[in-house]
């Protein structure tokens, strides 16, 4: 039998880990016992599909021995919780990208430090799907500004510019989502203007370099 390549081995280890972790139960879960397991299984299957695709893209750049390190175990547990708690595709993709990144060989140009991965894992776990969408839109807006080099400089906009991209969302909700991102240093609320316009419209918002890196390495450039 031919030996497995590195991506196949890493994927097999991930599947084994997912299968070994029990789904958290409880009184509410028992009331919807038919739904919760099937929905969770769907999320796990989608995560496996996304991870398989990403590992194939990274074939030849992986070090499966990273699975044996304590840092991988910590990151895997955080990613697994995100997978079973959400059916949002962006979150599932982010969780699997975290796992794929820590499996990269030492010295790979795309490999992030464990400290950064650990922070991003907390972001994936704690940010709402709405906040993640707002960050993705902010990055797309910044990319359209040819004067800005995202890898080296922050990007500033007014709240009204971002609000124009979310016509069905109230200003207060959008500001709340920005607040989530601000707490993780992915998007900044730059303070209250001296003279304020209605509905936060002239409040300055800043896309941080960390926010750009989160979208590039964890959410993926196609978001």
Residues 108 and 105: their CA atoms lie apart, in Å, by 6
- Which 3 state secondary structure label does DSSP give 139? helix
**How far is the first Cα of the chain from the last one, in angstroms, to the nearest whole number?**
39
Residues 87 and 106: their CA atoms lie apart, in Å, by 32
pLDDT at 1 over 50: no
The string of pLDDT tens digits covering residues 17-32 is 555 555 444 444 444 4
Tokens linked to 219: 């959410």
Residues 121 and 16: their CA atoms lie apart, in Å, by 21
Tokens linked to 38: 């099937």
Threshold 0.95, pTM exceeds? no
Residue with tokens 């990208």: 97
Higher pLDDT, 24 or 126: 126
Which runs of E-coded beta strand occur in 110-186?
155-158
Crossing angle of helices 171-183 and 129-144, rounded to 10°: 90
Tokens linked to 216: 């590039």
Q: Which helix (H) or strand (E) holds 62?
A: none
Residues 13 and 208: their CA atoms lie apart, in Å, by 35
Listed in sequence order, the residues at least 6 apart from 213 whose beta carbon sits closer than 8 Å to its beta carbon are 112, 116
- Which 3 state secondary structure label does DSSP give 205? strand
| 159 band by pLDDT with thresholds 50, 70 and 90 | very high
Domains of the chain: 6-126 (no CATH), 130-219 (1.10.10)
Mean pLDDT of 19-47: 61
| 108 band by pLDDT with thresholds 50, 70 and 90 | very high
Tokens linked to 128: 């709402």
């Amino acid at each position: 039998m031919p030996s497995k390549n590195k991506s196949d081995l890493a994927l097999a280890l991930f599947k084994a880990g997912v299968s070994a972790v029990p789904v958290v139960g409880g009184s509410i879960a028992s009331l919807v016992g038919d739904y919760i397991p099937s929905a969770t299984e769907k999320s796990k299957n989608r995560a496996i599909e996304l991870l398989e695709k990403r590992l194939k893209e990274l074939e030849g750049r992986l070090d499966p021995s990273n699975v044996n390190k304590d840092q991988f175990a910590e990151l895997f547990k955080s990613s697994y919780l995100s997978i079973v708690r959400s059916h949002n595709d962006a979150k599932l993709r982010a969780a699997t990208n975290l796992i794929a990144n820590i499996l990269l060989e030492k010295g790979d140009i795309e490999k992030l430090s464990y400290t950064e991965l650990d922070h991003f894992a907390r972001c994936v776990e704690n940010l709402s799907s709405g906040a993640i969408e707002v960050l993705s839109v902010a990055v797309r807006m910044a990319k359209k500004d040819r004067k800005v080099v995202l890898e080296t400089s922050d990007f500033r906009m007014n709240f009204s510019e971002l609000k124009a991209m979310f016509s069905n969302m109230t200003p207060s909700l959008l500001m709340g989502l920005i607040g989530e991102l601000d707490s993780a240093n992915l998007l900044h609320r730059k303070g209250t203007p001296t003279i304020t316009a209605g509905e936060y419209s002239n409040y300055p918002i800043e896309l941080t370099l960390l926010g750009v890196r989160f979208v590039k390495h964890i959410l993926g450039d196609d978001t």
